[in-house]
Amino acid sequence: MNQSASLNLPAYGFGAAGLGNLYTAISDEEAQATLEAANEAQLNLFDTAPYYGHGLSEQRIGAYLASSESRPVISTKVGRRLEPAGRADIPDNGFESPAPFIPKFDYSARGIREAFAGSQQRLGVEAVDILLLHDIGEMVHGGAHEGILAQALEEALPEMAAMKAEAKTKWIGLGVNEIDVCRQVLEHVDLDVLLIAGRYTLLEHAESLSFLGECHRRGVKVIIGGAFNSGLLASTGEEPLYYDYVEAPPWAVERAGQLRAVCETFNTPLPAVALQFCGSHPAVASVIPGAKSAAQVRQIAGWTQMEIDPGIWEALKDRDLISRDAPVC
């Protein structure tokens, strides 16, 4: 059993990638209104990262914290340093009008410290509640994965453990989009928490079910990001369809349509079912949907509180759209 400092997470929090202008830009005023709405709705775990808008998301959360008496749980990440762009072209990385910095992977002990120092400045805090090592794994690094993993185990994670001992953070863990690297790290290191994006969702979860069970047995908390699979499960049909931050493949669009059809027979919005499915697993401590407006936050809050007809789960299982073994509410 992993021993963690006491930290109470809300069942639902707020994923702040959108505050970094993911896909489309929002104003600073819209960002502040979004954060205020999230706090009012008690979605008061704010998850951010230097990568989100190249520091813009953290800056906007820092501005909110400076002007508010509320103290949400703050989660951020290390593993990339932000270098001033100067006259160089700024890669958009899916963010419209990001801050003028260039993200550079750096999993060295020194790089971890430098990345966190930047986050402290942007957020306006000395310490955070959760510190996650961001985007290790083969999906991101391809053939360089083994070397990155070795450096994470030898430098990054020990440095993060030292920062935890220094009270710079209460919990440490990973923030990733794949299960395999979580397994690989847990073979060597005890972690407090895993933020897993897009791999345990209503759309796809069969391969991650056994792993979440292992996390539950070990006392490793799980935060679920990407519950809508890059917005696919919350689509209105009027916007581009994404999956894993790129154009959604046909199989994902088709399966999402099948899920939506079942939900419609019960007069229940698919996003409500998607969120509550993720939160039903006993290993899951919090689910952090993203939003880019106060109206979206209020809609999400409504979905989290909606009563779900138990018949939906049976109907989805009967059609092999969710696993028979998946816990449901």
Which is the catalytic residue, given 12, 47, 200, 242?
Answer: 47
* Strand 246-247 with 284-287, pairing: unpaired
User: Looking at 56-214, which runs of residues are DSSP E strands?
Assistant: 73-78, 80-84, 101-105, 130-134, 171-176, 193-197
* Strand 246-247 with 242-243, pairing: antiparallel
d(CA 152, CA 149): 5
47 is catalytic: yes
Report long-range pairs for 261-269 (Cβ below 8 Å, ≥24 apart): 262/312, 262/315, 262/316, 262/319, 262/321, 263/312, 265/315, 266/309, 266/311, 266/312, 266/315, 268/306, 268/308, 268/309, 268/312, 269/303, 269/306
H or E stretch at 210: helix 209-218
d(CA 105, CA 240): 29
What is the amino acid identity at position 61?
I
* DSSP notation for 50-75: TTGGGGHHHHHHHHHHHH-S---EEE
320 is catalytic: no
Which is the catalytic residue, given 12, 51, 52, 242?
Answer: 52
The label of the residue with tokens 């989660």 reads 75
d(CA 146, CA 164): 26
Which is the catalytic residue, given 12, 51, 64, 77?
Answer: 77
| Residue 232 · residue 253 · CB < 8 Å | yes
170 is catalytic: no
Q: Which of 161, 196, 157 is nearest to 175 (CA)?
A: 196
d(CA 42, CA 12): 8
Q: What is the set of active-site residues?
A: 47, 52, 77
